[in-house]
Amino acid sequence: MSTKRITIKDLARHLELTEGTVSRAMNGYADISARTVERVRHAAVELGYKPNQNARCLATGEAEAVAYVIPQNHSSLAEPFVSQLLRGLDESLSRRGWDLLVSHSRSAEDEAEKIQRLVTSGRVSGVVLTRPFKHDNRIKLLQKAGFPFVVHGRCSACSDYSWYDIDNELAIHTAVTHLVELGHSRIAFVGAPLYYNFAFQRLEGYKSGLQTAGLDYDETIVEIAELKDEAGESAAANQLDANHPPTAFVCSSDTQAIGVLAALRTRGLTAGKDVSVIGYDGLRFGRHTNPPLTTMAQPQVQSGRELGDMLLAIIDGDSPAQHQILKRAELVLRSTAGPLRDRNYH
């Protein structure tokens, strides 16, 4: 049943040409006559010839594929994020006919080992990393190996590699400012674990937002939580059940924000009226929370596409430091951020 796979040798014999000639014809070399190129092309589609990628990549030394390293510990709620980014990446790679690998990992050591294998196995020509830590060994590893890579996010020392990032600080600053303009002054911050560099940046944005508004930084209304709904919920619970609860929450992810909304609901509070909430990510699901979630959005499909383009450029020889893109998040106004109530809800 399995019709034998047809190789370049078959094709060459069929055309009474040499394998080398066929190969050069297929790959657009100049030293092949137009007539021959046409014959080869035609016969190739006729016989359904597709070059064996393993052989091709072995010969050329180019893997014609890249890997996306999926961040560990990500909430399943946040997975549209991953999925959309993959789509964007694939779009970029497809234009060249390259393939996309994904790599999950169970632990940090596992991840290091898998990356090492990706680098040395020759299966991919480059990798894209996500959510760098403040000090990220994966990045060091890739740099030391001289292997092409781009990072979705920056880490502490980001001058000499390629990254694509949202201006986290500015985004949170914007969110805080928005709440301040709505009259809020007691604004809580739900941060992410600080080994993530973006968490650090967002915290900075929170601080600078307060400062711009002339508000004091009060660490008692800052919670550090994982990027999960439950974590957001318990963080909000802490704050809401305290003596002098905040009137607004700025969160580090939509998933956290969803948890905050749940905590409010539990307590009979209405988001956007009694307490304001701003999320981060712009997940589509935010349209359907009750009330719909105001959030800072970053378009993931486009991110993926740009990451792909950057990585390809670097593989082609561009200097990594030459490809650094900083985007800004957009404030998506929905209904969870409203004006401060005259009298508090207590």
Partner DNA sequence: TGCTATCCCGAAACCGCTTTCGGAATCAAC
Partner DNA sequence: GTTGATTCCGAAAGCGGTTTCGGGATAGCA
Helix (H, G, I), strand (E, B) or coil at 238: helix
What the block records as the tokens of 336 is 């969870």
229 binds, among its own copies, DNA, none (CB under 5 to 8 A by kind): its own copies
Three-state secondary structure string covering 15-65: HCCCHHHHHHHHCCCCCCCHHHHHHHHHHHHHHCCCCCHHHHHHHHCCCCE
Helix axes 34-47, 8-15, angle to 10 degrees: 120
Decide if 276 contacts 249 (C-beta within 8 A).
yes
Q: What are φ and ψ of residue 94, in 5° steps?
A: -60, -30
* 14 touches its own copies (CB under 8 A): no
Span from 1-9, 30-38, 157-165, 239-247 in contact with its own copies (CB under 8 A): 1-9
- Of the candidate residues 41, 42, 46, 59, the single one contacting DNA (CB under 7 A): 59
Closest to its own copies by CB, 46 or 79: 79
What the block records as the tokens of 129 is 């990393």
The 277-316 contact track toward its own copies, x by CB under 8 A, reads -------xx-xxxx--------------------------
Residues touching its own copies, count (CB under 8 A): 58
Radius of gyration of the chain (CA): 26
Closest to its own copies by CB, 91 or 318: 91
* 47 touches DNA (CB under 7 A): no
144 binds, among DNA, its own copies, none (CB under 5 to 8 A by kind): its own copies
Rounded to whole angstroms, how far apart are CA atoms 102 and 86? 9
Residue with tokens 């999960």: 228
339 binds, among DNA, its own copies, none (CB under 5 to 8 A by kind): none
* 216 touches DNA (CB under 7 A): no
Span from 22-30, 101-109, 201-209, 334-342 in contact with its own copies (CB under 8 A): 101-109
Residue with tokens 């986290």: 168
Q: What are φ and ψ of residue 50, in 5° steps?
A: -130, 130
* 339 touches DNA (CB under 7 A): no
Shortest spacing between CB 54 and its own copies, in angstroms: 4
112 binds, among DNA, its own copies, none (CB under 5 to 8 A by kind): none
Shortest spacing between CB 342 and its own copies, in angstroms: 26
Closest to DNA by CB, 9 or 96: 9
Decide if 254 contacts 283 (C-beta within 8 A).
yes
- Of the candidate residues 25, 210, 261, 312, the single one contacting its own copies (CB under 8 A): 261
Decide if 173 contacts 209 (C-beta within 8 A).
yes
Rounded to whole angstroms, how far apart are CA atoms 198 and 200? 5
